[in-house]
Amino acid sequence: MSIEEVAGPSLTNRNTFSFITSQRNRPILLKDGYKYLHLRTNKDKSSMWRCSKKSTCQAMIKLNFNNTTILKATDHNHEGDLTNNEILMNLNDCEDQVKHNLAASVPSLYFDTIERMEERGLHLVANIPRFQSVKNKLYRKRNKSLGVQHAWLYIMAECLNTEDATTFNDYFIKTWLDDNSDYANTYNCYKEHHRTNNSVEAWNARIAKKLKKKPNILQFLVAIKRDMNEFWRRVVLDGPISRKKIETIRMNTMIADTVREFESREITIGHCIEKLKYLPGFNHEKQAH
């Protein structure tokens, strides 16, 4: 069926559809249990949307210039999932709450949303995404609403005007701050904060100390097994898996307190950066140069 042909079921309640954003901040159209991805914008400003299962389904929708009315549509070759779309819309509402209700924590807003969905029995007929799988997007929304991106602009203003500094600033914005970048979620996330994978680096350093410079495979496996046994021994004894230095604990507390002050609007983003840059361990001599 061509796009000019109007499919009956697809245009039922012609203007009943919703928009949400994907994990990579791209628009998704939801209608009658189906998901559509933006395909193109025509010369007359109308837009074409294609079924998200584009490899097996050719169904499309055409919207008018301001995305308020469906002009044309074609049928799908599969059933829609109304429950899944309702879950997606609830999570999208949660994102809006994360951006605007800054007094509430991100986890509390998420679990309030889950509770409302469970009250309606949605968890009985569909899988609701766990916090672990959506927290990166939620915290990115919260950070953006707080103006965290302006922190980098503040830092850039303090940088030397050199070619190397400009190149690095361009890289940082494109890799970490651009809405289309998913780098932070993929490579550099620890709990709800974007930071280096400290636990993995610490484990790698610990293993390296137990090995010779060029170990053979047997020596490597023995070191891994010993480390694994030590890990499970700590688990059985219900002791700490790893021990942090007092300096690290103190620094983490200072970071948490400073971030809390910023999130509660007690200090500006500039003040926040100034407080963080003088934390223990910061090399002030290098900064001066």
The verdict on 105 and 121 lying in the same domain is: yes
CA separation (Å) from 277 to 113, 158, 274, 280? 37, 12, 5, 9
User: Which strand ranges, in their side-by-side order, compose the sheet holding 60-63?
Assistant: 18-21, 27-31, 34-41, 47-51, 60-63, 70-73
Q: Is residue 172 part of a domain?
A: no
Q: Is residue 35 part of a domain?
A: yes
Same structural domain, 94 and 52: no
| Listed residue (88, 84, 130, 86) closest to 111, CA to CA | 130
51: three-class secondary structure by DSSP: strand
CA torsion 101-182-257-271 (nearest 10°) is: -90
Contact status, residue 6 vs residue 73, Cβ threshold 8 Å: yes
Residue in 180, 133, 18, 188 with CA at minimum distance from that of residue 86: 18
34 forms bridges with which residues in the sheet?
A: 31
Same-domain pairing of 37 and 95: no
Q: Residue 146: count other Cβ atoms within 10 Å of its Cβ.
A: 18
Which of 109, 130, 146 marks a domain boundary?
Answer: 146
- To 10 degrees, what angle do helices 149-158 and 269-277 make? 60
- DSSP code of 76? -
Please indicate, yes or no, if residue 259 is contained in any of the structural domains: no
The reply to whether 39 falls in a domain is yes
Number of domains the chain is built from: 3
66 shares its domain with 129: no
158: in domain: no
In CATH, what number is assigned to the domain containing residue 63? 2.20.25.240
Between the CA of residue 257 and those of 108, 158, 276, what are the distances in Å?
Answer: 19, 24, 10
Decide which of 80, 106, 133 is a domain's last residue: 80
Q: Is residue 274 assigned to a domain?
A: no
In a shared domain, residues 18 and 64: yes
pLDDT truncated to tens, each residue of the chain (289 aa)? 333 333 333 444 556 899 998 877 789 999 999 999 999 999 999 999 999 998 899 999 999 998 888 999 999 999 999 999 999 999 999 999 988 887 788 888 999 999 999 888 887 777 888 888 888 788 878 877 777 667 777 777 777 778 888 888 788 777 766 666 655 555 554 454 445 556 677 778 888 888 888 888 888 888 888 888 887 887 777 666 666 778 878 888 888 888 888 878 788 888 888 888 777 655 544 444 4
Backbone angles phi, psi at 249, to 5 degrees: -60, -45
The helix (H) or strand (E) run that includes residue 50 is strand 47-51
Domain interval for residue 203: 198-236
- pTM of the predicted structure, to 2 decimals: 0.54
> Do both 114 and 56 map to the same domain?
no
Q: Is there a domain that residue 48 lies in?
A: yes
Please indicate, yes or no, whether residues 92 and 57 belong to a single structural domain of this protein. no
Asked if the structure places residue 288 within a domain, the reply is no
Whether the CA torsion 84, 90, 96, 98 is positive or negative: it is negative
Using CA of residue 101, residue 151, residue 283, residue 210, what is the dihedral sign?
A: positive
Q: Which of 269, 27, 21 is nearest to 145 (CA)?
A: 269
